[in-house]
Structure 1
Amino acid sequence: MSQESLVTLQQAFDERRSVYALGNELPVAPQAIINMAERVLLHTPSAFNSQSSRLVVLFGDEHQKLWDIAEEKLRAAVGDGDFSGSQQKLDGFRAAAGTVLFYEDRNVTKSLQEQLALYAERFPIWAEHASAMHQYAMWTELRTLDIGANLQHYNPLVDEDAAAAFAIPDSWELIAQMPFGNIKAPAGEKTYEPVNERMKLLALL
């Protein structure tokens, strides 16, 4: 890896944040996002090389449809309660250029549980780990293109309607949603707990 590539990767790690002020004017063509999602699927690790993670990339009307579903379901759940805060958040997600949906294929996990009974209870946990790595990989890759994103969890509220709207197989379980777009305003300040309280060094080489 060249020094220039290493710096780019380090900067993406440092600068990846939850960006909520998103727009729909991407600095790259949508195909670049699709290529990125394919790369994330191909090269992100998973337990026993299960490759159980699934991605759905939404643009345009399909992206809008997801957040229409979320609003409808959330309004029903809130009832007569104050919806203004939720409305502001949902409108922010709609303003983005697209959304990545992160799924896990339960059929893959079930098959591994049957093949390796000794670890059966761990495979659902490891599937969540795999999904988390895909989420982080996608988030960091987006940052390398100066594209902002945030991570949402409107599941299971939207699961059924989203599955119907986007022809999602029954075995896919929705884990998270990642709206993305051009950065209209940077993320707020972030505080950090001291690293020396979060990491233990046992030996120096």
Structure 2
Amino acid sequence: MSISPSNAPPDAARFIKERVRTVENWPQPGVQFRDITPVLQDRRALRTLIDLFVQRYIDENIDVIAGMDARGFIIGPILAYELSLGFVPIRKKGKLPYRTLSQSYELEYGSATVEIHEDACKPGDRVVIVDDLVATGGTMMAGKILLERLGAEVVEAAAIIDLPDLGGSKLLRDNGVPLYTVCEFGGH
């Protein structure tokens, strides 16, 4: 079973996008930070967002939801709960207490390393990776690499926001990772 390529329904996508706040020059000059906090604060927006993801995956053969540190930890566990699945955190280096695998990557304003517990999932597990947005794609690619090192299959990456001008969605797709996003913003 494969997930059909599609976008969020236009009305729902617009509803979510209108609630994303843009913070200029944060965390450094020239960056337009897309803040999902207003989406989370608005009960209708949060419900709409979670429902979009649930409807996307409810009939799919998924074993685990993996969330990227840190905002993937907000949506990921809710989605896992709604789908009666387990949740796997992929954390910034040094935050997990058990034996880990690590992967470094570049992001739009620096570099970072993420880690996963070595027993986070089983070989053959079908996983959806969740984060708040896709910028350069480095975070999700690092998550994909870690999950595949454990023997899991990354079925899809999912995010609230795509920033296509930063090239991350293209990077993911070029590397065989289907991507589902609710809305997109042009520019940086």
Per the normalisation by structure 2, the TM-score is: 0.31
Q: Which has the larger radius of gyration?
A: 1
TM-score, normalised via structure 1 length: 0.29
Higher percent of residues as strand: 2
Judging by fraction of residues, say which structure has more helix. Answer: 1
